[in-house]
Chains A and B, each alone.
Chain A
């Protein structure tokens, strides 16, 4: 391995382990383990949310998509960003007011019961694991590509690190690793953008001219339509992207880590500024890649475009800048997987072990012990899974996560907060319809059933790669029909009004519990 790459990698690992050691000394109580005791400021949490949200697929994938697909590649970023409007306007404040550590707490605030908690825990668990596996698999390929490390060793390094962060430092370590990642990612991307832009004398016209020269399509490169030809597929993707974030448990539980709704809003505003600026820079970097490396050159080296950013960094800054970009990609992966581990851990240890198995009677010490053990088990099992998936294409699981989240958790949360006729049966039917329909449409869709390279070598039963346009309405329909058919179990007007006031203008629930 190139010594520069090795030094950067070691530097990142040592820094994050120092953070974890510092955090471990502060993670002595359950609230601190699960939600950092609500002590982060809005801006810190905003940086952590951005760190949790921007995955390697965003950092490396979108630059490559813009370079190869032009405008259509950029549209992914827009959906991801605008989704924060939905989170802020509809979901964020009620979640903060009603929940303690998990999404199960939120639903149980209106519909108490172990079934509700189990269902939400399962939903959280499925989504977190579905998202974590492809991140770990991608980390194996990425480190092999960038640092020439063996796939298994790469996955093992990332798996062990994420487990150490969460087991010893809980949410405090996870948050600070994510904050460091955001600082590195934003400063690195900004530096790279400045260097690339300087190659065009700081002139947009010059960049556009060079892109035209670098692409075989000329000015046609800038026309929409290089990726999305099917309008239903395109609209369906945009719908899933904009509603998906509002159902992602690892993002939503971050709203517990600040002390009041003012800080919740500041968290989301900060994260939209960071994410928006980041996507704008990736747009310039994608165009810069075409202009400086050439479309044909990039396509011949990597038809997926995933190594566009490292290639660009090497072209403008040599080995040193490439090592820096590789270090950013590595930090990006470990920050995202750590967030997913803590989300799955909370669902398992808080909802299933503490509330369901122990009937809410475990002591503070037992809860903390169960949480650490759960994190260890989840980290180990996910790593083992990723190790065995080297030869299987699991990248589609990333887009599936958004569809499952938008079709199951989002409808249930939205109707819980705003619909007075919603019932516990509606929660069950909504979650079940959303989850099952998403999984069925994916399994019988072209991601899995494909005569060329699918897991099942047959023609797909459903033609959509992104079935959100069908599964999201199905999730809502399941919840609504279930509620209407169980109308007798509806809350009284008085009960609903009390809940509604608590959810929308109730007092803040984040308090330090020592």
Chain B
């Protein structure tokens, strides 16, 4: 495989791992926090005294939108900067 394609794939892999780890960490911290620090998550927050657990759960919705948006922007950029013609890569 051409070195330029290898470098392209490595860059893609690095960013993918970073985005995936951060998003899944954000997601799994919700059940983990409810399991390990239930008292903290049940404390009233600044938002109409709702427990912090509600805020964190609701935040998962915009979090999903932000991460899929970032991924799309990143994938578009990667497609534009493809080192060679895609048919050649095959």
A interface list, Cβ under 8 A from B: 71, 74-75, 78, 81-82, 84-86, 88-90, 93, 204-205, 208, 219, 222-225, 228, 231, 234-235, 238, 242, 261-262, 265-266, 268-269, 272-273, 276, 279-280, 283, 497-498, 500-502, 504-507
Contacts and interface: CB of A to CB of B under 8 A. Distances in A.
Contacts of B19: 89
Given A71-B51, A265-B75, A497-B1, A504 B12 contact: yes
The residue in A205, A225, A505 that gathers the most chain B C-beta atoms within 10 A of its C-beta is A505
A223 B38 CA distance: 9
A261 B35 contact: no
Given A82-B60, A223-B51, A501-B90, 13 more contacts: A75-B57, A78-B27, A81-B64, A84-B68, A88-B68, A89-B23, A223-B53, A224-B42, A228-B34, A501-B1, A502-B89, A504-B12, A505-B9
Nearest to B83: A505
A497 B87 CA distance: 15
Contact of B53 (A71, A242, A497): A71
B75 A231 contact: no
A48 to B, nearest CB: 17
B61 A276 contact: yes
Nearest to B47: A204
Given A84-B68, A497-B1, A502 B90 contact: yes
16 contacts: A74-B57, A78-B30, A82-B63, A88-B68, A89-B19, A224-B34, A224-B38, A224-B53, A235-B31, A242-B24, A262-B76, A268-B68, A269-B68, A497-B1, A504-B9, A506-B86
Nearest to B52: A224
Contact of A81 (B50, B60, B75): B60
A500 B9 contact: yes
Provide the main secondary structure of the chain A interface.
helix
B50 A222 contact: yes
Interface string B23-40: 110011011101100100
Contact of A501 (B5, B64, B76): B5
A81 B78 CA distance: 26
Nearest to B42: A223
A222 B1 CA distance: 56
Contacts of B50: 208, 222
User: Sorted from nearest, which 10 A-B pairs have the closest CB atoms?
Assistant: A231-B35, A276-B61, A507-B86, A238-B31, A265-B72, A82-B27, A497-B1, A78-B60, A224-B53, A223-B42
| Contact-residue bracket for chain B | 35 or more
B57 A234 contact: no
Contacts of A89: 16, 19-20, 23, 71
Contacts of B64: 81-82, 84-85, 272, 276
Interface string B57-81: 1101111110111011001101100
Contacts, number: 129
A501 B35 CA distance: 41
Nearest to B63: A82
Given A89-B71, A265-B72, A506-B89, A205 B48 contact: yes
Given A89-B71, A224-B51, A505-B9, A273 B65 contact: yes
A505 B20 contact: no
B7 interface: no
Contacts of A497: 1
Nearest to B2: A501
Contacts of A280: 58, 61
Nearest to B72: A265
Nearest to A228: B34
A265 B5 contact: no
Contacts of B60: 78, 81-82
B8 A505 contact: yes
Contacts of A84: 64, 68
Nearest to A70: B54
Given A82-B64, A235-B35, A238-B28, A501 B71 contact: no
Contacts of B28: 238
A71 B9 contact: no
A493 to B, nearest CB: 9
Contacts of A265: 68, 71-72, 75
Contact of A234 (B20, B34, B53, B82): B34
Contacts of B89: 501-502, 505-506
A85 B24 contact: yes
Contacts of A86: 20, 24
A208 B68 contact: no
A506 B89 CA distance: 7
Given A261-B75, A497-B1, A234 B31 contact: yes
The residue in B5, B24, B35, B68 that gathers the most chain A C-beta atoms within 10 A of its C-beta is B68
The residue in B5, B31, B53, B58 that gathers the most chain A C-beta atoms within 10 A of its C-beta is B31
